[in-house]
Structure 1
Amino acid sequence: MYVKQQPLGSGFTAASTADEVLAGIDLNGINIVVTGGHAGIGLETTRALSKAGASVVVGARRPGRAAAALAGIERVEVGPLDLAHPASIDAFTARYAGSGRPLHILINNAGVPLHETLTLDARGYEAQFATNYLGHFQLTLGLLASLRAAHGARVVNLSSGGHRISGIRWNDVHFTTGYQSLLAYGQSKTAAILFAVELDRRWARDGVRGYAVHPGIVPGTSLNSSVGEEQLRAAGLIDEDGQPVVAPDRGIKNARQGAATTVFAATSPLLDEIGGVYLMDNDVSVVDENPEPVTGAEQDPPAEVVPHAIDPRSAERLWELSEELITV
């Protein structure tokens, strides 16, 4: 049943860095968009891709702050982009389309921290679903013509092992009753994977392939900002001195290791004939067909993909629902 979802034997490991994955890959003439490509894993993704020769457009909610963070990195420009505001997304895609450049790689990297209380986007949708997934769905559809013009393009969605926490809550995706932050986070990360599955099914014939990646846990990124120091220490993510732990064999990585699977998905020739898959540790993940319940409290949570996140019927259903949601 899971023919595509099998490791390729890439030769890389959980400890491999983005630079190591990109060694020998020439990205001169390649145009890339990275949302949130100015902080945390996104910044390291932008740096590594630029070093390999790519031209990168970073979509950022605060362009001035992003430009300062990206100073000194070659062939990078910043465009205003707020994934919680549909008009901002439309303006970004119109600017890119107006430039006339093909888009070879789109990396849907941006995300929001856990919201302990229900937070809504400009449409009135739950913010984690809206920002981590639905805004990127709208962005990707808006960039489709540019992706097709590349005659061979990839879309990489940042997901997480947290997808194991929750499937799609079809009866209440916006948590209008009984909001739970971890379930909302898990749903948004499942949605990112299902998006890659259905995108690849629909667009592979146009030369546009879809991937979802688990980058690992990277202490110190903005997505950890809502978690207190005691919780981080209890989870084994920081040591007694408050310094980030690096233990890639446990899935805990630094930013250069965390960006590696993203750039692997974006550039590896091993993926030239395969798409619609979930990757971790610089390879295609196996499927955990009998997963244990995940609560988010585990010190070393599993990250392999589970069936609800790659189910083709759910992927098609989510796409159709998302088309309806972005027309509001």
Structure 2
Amino acid sequence: MSTAQQPLPSGIGAAATAEEVIKGVDLTGKVAIVTGGYSGIGLETARVLRSAGAEVVVPARDLERAQAALKDVPGAQAEYLDLLDPASIDTFAEKFLASGRPLHILVNSAGIMATPLARDARGYERQFATNHVGHFQLVRRLWPALVAAGGARVVVLSSRGIRFAGVDFDDLHFEHRPYEPFVAYGQSKTANALFAVELDRRGRAEGVRAFAVHPGIIIDTGLVKHLDPELIRASGTVDEDGNPIIAPERQWKTVQQGAATGVWCATSPQLAGLGGVFCENCDVSPLVTPETEAAWYEGEQTPGVLPRAVDPEAAARLWEVSERLITA
């Protein structure tokens, strides 16, 4: 498979923070939207983009919580949006488009992980609906503003969770197979990566570039709230008191380090002319090969992306399926 999955190399490294990678970047006059921008790495992303001068809008299902979280991010705006509610996505996008603002940066950071089986009002499995379908609809509705920017970047938060599953086009919503939380999560994260591939292909002629990101393993966020504490302890990512162990060389990161790759993809001049790639540790990930596959599955310190997560044919198929899902 022909691929652009080749490290630059960027020279930055796994331990960098978002604040460090944005140093020297002036975003004055730029507009950014950060979903999930009121908690975890989304909040840090919003804070750092705002500190560089960007106008930052944070879509939020819980406006009161978002406004409280953003009190230390002066000027950031919270607007209502629920990724499981198609009507609210359309309303948010219509309001933004009516403002006449271009959209230079869109960071799709909101997500859920390994939740019990639940479905949205359309019957779509909740992890796939939240992590992929809602964001797909948001990008499609905001497309005119992205094009109007004359050079926009869309950053899609994926995960090393792509290892748990590819996209099952025959049973996206677990209607015919047993539901497994991590399989559903893996499917949604693979969908995130594929979305960036096809989005970039379709958008590059109009100046819209897209990147998928593995932020690292960040225990200190709400993303792990559905996980058994014993499972977390068994993973070795926390100490005997339950505190996260920070080892960026193993992808075990702080929130500030976890936000770095997404911010790098959204703003770095090193990525000029590039797109449609999966990134981690502030660099383009290498492609996992048969020679590196065993080491990749065995330990987080081996960087890489599985071919199925950047396959252009699967990406094109997912796009067509997703178009049907948001018009059903």
What residue number does 1:139 align with?
Answer: 138
Q: 1:181 to 1:302 in 2, by over 3 A?
A: farther
Q: Which moved more, 1:309-318 or 1:283-292?
A: 283-292
Distance apart, 1:3 and its partner CA: 4.2
User: Matches of 1:221 and 1:302 in 2, distance apart?
Assistant: 23
Separation (CA, whole Å) in 1 of partners of 2:203 and 2:228: 42
The whole-number CA distance in structure 2 between the counterparts of 1:300 and 1:20 is: 23
Aligned amino acid, residue 191 of structure 1: A
Q: How does 1:206-221 map to 2 (within 5 A)?
A: 206-221=206-221
State the shift of 1:216 in Å.
0.2
1:150 is aligned to 149
Change (3 A) 1:293 1:60: farther
1:31 matched to 2:25: no
Matched residue, 2:44: 44
Unaligned runs of 5+ in 1: none
Q: Which residue of 1 aligns with 2:80?
A: 80
- The AA in structure 2 aligned to 1:70 is L
Alpha-carbon shift at residue 2 of structure 1 (Å): 4.0
CA distance in 2, matches of 1:238, 1:299: 16
CA contact (8 A) 1:212 1:278 kept: yes
Q: Secondary structure at the match of 1:236?
A: coil
Alignment size in residue pairs: 325
Name the CA distance, whole Å, in 2 between partners of 1:266 and 1:288: 24
Question: 1:103–1:147: 8 Å Cα contact kept in structure 2?
Answer: yes
| Aligned partners of 1:200 and 1:208 also within 8 Å | yes
> Which amino acid in the other structure matches residue 263 of structure 1?
V
Q: Per-residue deviation at 1:68?
A: 0.2
Please, which runs of 5 or more residues in structure 2 have no aligned partner? none
SS of 1:326's equivalent? helix
Distance 1:227 1:94 in 2: 36
What one-letter code is carried by the residue in structure 2 that aligns with 1:153? Answer: A
Match of 1:4 in 2: 4
Cα deviation, 1:89-111, whole Å, max 9, x if unaligned, reads 11110111011100000001100
Paired with 2:300 and 2:8, the residues of 1 have a C-alpha distance of: 24
In the TM superposition, residue 122 of structure 1 has moved relative to its aligned partner by 2.0
Q: CA deviation at 1:61?
A: 0.8
Distance in 2, Cα, partners of 1:6 & 1:303: 11
Query: What corresponds to 1:232 in structure 2?
Result: 232
User: CA 1:106–1:15 in structure 2 vs 1: closer, same or farther (change >3 Å)?
Assistant: same
> How many angstroms apart in 1 are the aligned matches of 2:108 and 2:302?
23
- C-alpha displacement at 1:303, in angstroms? 5.3
What corresponds to 2:287 in structure 1?
A: 287
Q: 2: CA distance between counterparts of 1:142 and 1:8?
A: 32
Query: Secondary structure in 2 aligned to 1:58?
Result: strand
Deviation at 1:15?
Answer: 0.3
Equivalences for residues 1-328 of structure 1 within 5 A: 1-116=1-116, 118-177=117-176, 178-290=178-290, 291-292=293-294, 300=300, 304-328=304-328
Q: Which amino acid aligns with 1:319?
A: W
Assess if the C-alpha contact under 8 Å between 1:55 and 1:76 holds in 2: yes
TM-score by length of 1: 0.96
**CA-CA distance at 1:243 after TM superposition:** 1.1
Greater shift, 284-293 or 35-44, is seen at 284-293
Q: 2:305 corresponds to which letter in structure 1?
A: V
Structure 1 Cα separation of the partners of residues 321 and 253 of structure 2: 35
Q: Is the 8 A contact 2:295 2:302 kept in 1?
A: no
Give the superposition deviation at 1:23: 0.6
The amino acid across from 2:108 in the alignment is: N
Per-residue CA deviation, residues 158-204 of structure 1 (Å, 9 max, x unaligned), is 00011122111011011112111111100100001110100111110
CA contact (8 A) 1:163 1:189 kept: yes
The 8 Å contact of residues 57 and 78 in structure 2, kept in 1 or not, is answered as yes
The residue type paired with residue 142 of structure 1 is: R
Structure 1 moving runs of 4+ over 3 Å: 292-295, 298-303
Query: C-alpha separation between the residues in 2 aligned to 1:302 and 1:234?
Result: 20
3-state SS in 2 of match to 1:270: helix
1:289: Cα distance to partner? Answer: 2.0
2:13 & 2:200 partners in 1: Cα distance? Answer: 25
Q: Is 2:115–2:181's contact at 8 Å kept on the other side of the alignment?
A: yes
1:154 maps to a residue whose letter is: R
Offset of 1:228 from its aligned partner? 2.5
Cα pair distance change 1:142/1:212, threshold 3 Å = same
Change (3 A) 1:48 1:314: same
Shift of 1:301: 7.5
Bigger shift: residues 51-60 or 3-12: 3-12
Change (3 A) 1:301 1:270: closer
Tell me how far apart the structure 1 counterparts of residues 300 and 260 of structure 2 sit (CA, whole Å). 20
CA contact 2:220–2:255 (8 Å) conserved in 1: no
Alpha-carbon spacing, 1:169–1:285, altered in 2? closer, same or farther (3 Å): same
- Output the aligned Cα RMSD: 1.5
**Deviation per CA, 1:67-124, whole angstroms, max 9, x where unpaired?**
10010212200011100110111111011101110000000110013113x2101211
